[in-house]
């Protein structure tokens, strides 16, 4: 099976063999490209984004990951405009990761779309499955947050530091905790009057 056929199979949510030579090679390519990107810190933004365009499915304007950034494949990650991730961002993107515009990540955010089989023999044979993660526009994800497979975070949501997101978070809400739960809606009372 070609790498593209395997990619489509993984994105379908069906079990797949994580140990095929094509997927092992794709992960090795991602390591090389993320290393090149991380080593480019301090170079012009256009040069850094050119590396991201070789690595990720799609990259918007002004996309920036502080070193170090790591991903599993890269080819299933789409990032919108004006994205910023603080240091140590990790993305296992087998199931696909879509990030909207004007999104901020604190340090050490991890997104995990892939999971191993529960049965020990299947797991040892490389059986995995993956589900997508979708993050809307204007989302702020605090430091040390873990986002698990199958989660959607709605537009304008905020995820508190240290949270483990196991269920979707509606738009315009603040969620936090382990597991994360919705704490409250973001309202006009949250405006401070700040003007840049």
3 state DSSP class of 116 = strand
Of the candidates 9, 64, 82, 116, the residue annotated as catalytic is: 116
DSSP β-ladder status, 58-59 and 77-79:
parallel
Q: Dihedral of CA 17/21/23/28: which sign?
A: positive
| Residue recorded with tokens 């508190």 | 160
Catalytic annotation on 116?
yes
Whose tokens are 């299947």? That residue is 122
Residues paired with residue 152 on neighbouring β-strands, in sequence order: 134
Of 104, 95, 106, residue with least CA distance to 145: 106
Closest C-alpha among 171, 108, 170, 179 to residue 145: 108
Residues with Cβ within 8 Å of 191's Cβ and at least 6 positions away in sequence, in order, are none
Which residue numbers are catalytic? Answer: 116
């Amino acid at each position: 099976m070609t790498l593209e056929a395997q990619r489509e199979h993984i994105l379908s949510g069906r079990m797949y063999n994580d140990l095929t030579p094509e997927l092992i090679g794709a992960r090795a390519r991602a390591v090389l490209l993320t290393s090149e990107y991380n080593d480019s810190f301090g170079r012009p933004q256009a040069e850094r984004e050119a590396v991201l365009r070789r690595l990720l499915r799609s990259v918007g304007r002004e996309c920036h990951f502080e070193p170090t950034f790591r991903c599993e494949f890269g080819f299933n990650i789409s990032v919108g405009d004006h994205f910023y991730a603080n240091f140590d961002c990790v993305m296992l993107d087998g199931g696909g990761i879509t990030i909207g515009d004007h999104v901020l990540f604190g340090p050490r955010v991890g997104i995990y779309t892939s999971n191993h089989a529960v049965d020990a023999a299947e797991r040892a044979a490389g059986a995995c499955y993956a589900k997508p993660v979708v993050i809307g526009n204007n989302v702020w994800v605090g430091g040390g947050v873990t986002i698990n497979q199958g989660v959607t975070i709605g537009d304008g949501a905020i995820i508190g530091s240290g949270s483990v997101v196991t269920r979707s978070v509606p738009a315009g809400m603040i969620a936090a905790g382990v597991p994360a739960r919705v704490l409250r809606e973001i309202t006009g009372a949250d405006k401070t009057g700040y003007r840049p």
